[in-house]
Amino acid sequence: ALEKKVVKSKVGEKVGLPCCHEIPSSESLQNYRVYWQKNTTEVVLAYAEGKMISKHERYGNRTEMDARNLTLWISPVEILDNGPYQCVVQHLRFLQNSVVVCDEPVTLFVTADFSKPNITAEVLANSCESTEMVVRCSSYGGFPKPTLSGALDNESMAWNASWVSESSLSPYNVTGKRWLNVTKDISITCSVEYNGFAESTSLLLTKTKECVVPTVPPSYNVITASSIIIITFLLAMTLAARYLPRHVCSHCCKPQDSVEEGVKECMKPPVSSKVTSETSSV
């Protein structure tokens, strides 16, 4: 089995696709026919007896071939250059007879960088316990079709991803969506991976609503009971101050007497009924 050759390049770079044969120093390109093909049907360029006999218009001035090791150089690389190529070399013998020297494939993987992922968060609902939000991650302009991965505080998570591209050989736009219930501040990461490359972005998701709860809530019953006791005590003191002295004087003193007479009268010993009767008889 032939070893499969793979070459990787980015859009805009210069890349060389190796051929399976190198012309010895004792010979020249005039002794060979060389065909560089794409997808086995599209001739990129062809040489016969040292002269170029064919060149695909799409490659224009972007391709050239080394006359010794037959490497096909492409610059600048485009996404459409992605795919399998084949180098076919024929050696010209006497009487223009040709012998196939080599016929081997080589695959070119073209990569176009994706933009740095952009993460946005939209709050849908808020409460003291959590913040419900929808998070979106998007990246565009890359190739080939990427995979989208994510993480919440370094624990992997999956995105609901969708891709948009005009064709299989066109730049891709990718968007990921995720619904989250955020109960605390947490970091979310979005990574776009393609052909061995990756771009990542992180965003801190914040629980937007904080409800402050007192550590020792006031007791309504205690406050009410204390207020009733204090008010009752004050009313009792007020009533005692107003009515208790008047009640005592009404039994001891005459209202028209002066203070001194009232006191004296109140201190007089009571006269017994017996003495009064004897005095009357005399």
* pLDDT tens readout for residues 10-27: 999 999 999 999 999 999
Higher model confidence: residue 100 or residue 3?
A: 100
Tokens of 3: 């070893």
Q: Please, which pLDDT band fits residue 273 given cuts at 50, 70 and 90?
A: very low
| Whole-angstrom distance, CA of residue 80 vs CA of residue 110 | 8
Q: Across the chain, where does the E strand assignment appear?
A: 5-10, 15-17, 32-38, 42-48, 51-55, 63-65, 72-74, 83-92, 98-111, 118-126, 131-142, 147-152, 155-157, 160-164, 172-182, 186-194, 197-205
What number is the average pLDDT over the span 235-257? Answer: 59
pLDDT tens figures, 79-110: 999 999 999 999 987 656 788 999 999 999 99
Domain edges within the chain: 5-110, 115-205
> CB atoms < 10 A from the CB of 29, how many?
18
- pTM score: 0.68
User: How confident is the model at residue 81, as a pLDDT?
Assistant: 96
CB burial class (10 A; 0-12, 13-18, 19+) of residue 82?
buried
Residue with tokens 């101050």: 241
Rounded to 5°, the CA angle 249-254-259 comes to: 75
Rounded to 5°, the CA angle 78-80-84 comes to: 110
Q: Are 3 and 102 in contact (CB under 8 A)?
A: no
| Whole-angstrom distance, CA of residue 142 vs CA of residue 162 | 14
Q: Report whether CATH 3.40.30.10 matches the domain 5-110.
A: no
Residue whose C-alpha is closest to residue 64's, from 90, 34, 104, 24: 34
User: How confident is the model at residue 245, as a pLDDT?
Assistant: 57
User: How confident is the model at residue 246, as a pLDDT?
Assistant: 54
Higher model confidence: residue 224 or residue 30?
A: 30
Higher model confidence: residue 120 or residue 256?
A: 120
Q: Are 87 and 47 in contact (CB under 8 A)?
A: no
Whether 5-110 and 115-205 share one fold: the answer is: yes
Q: What is the CATH number of domain 115-205?
A: 2.60.40.10
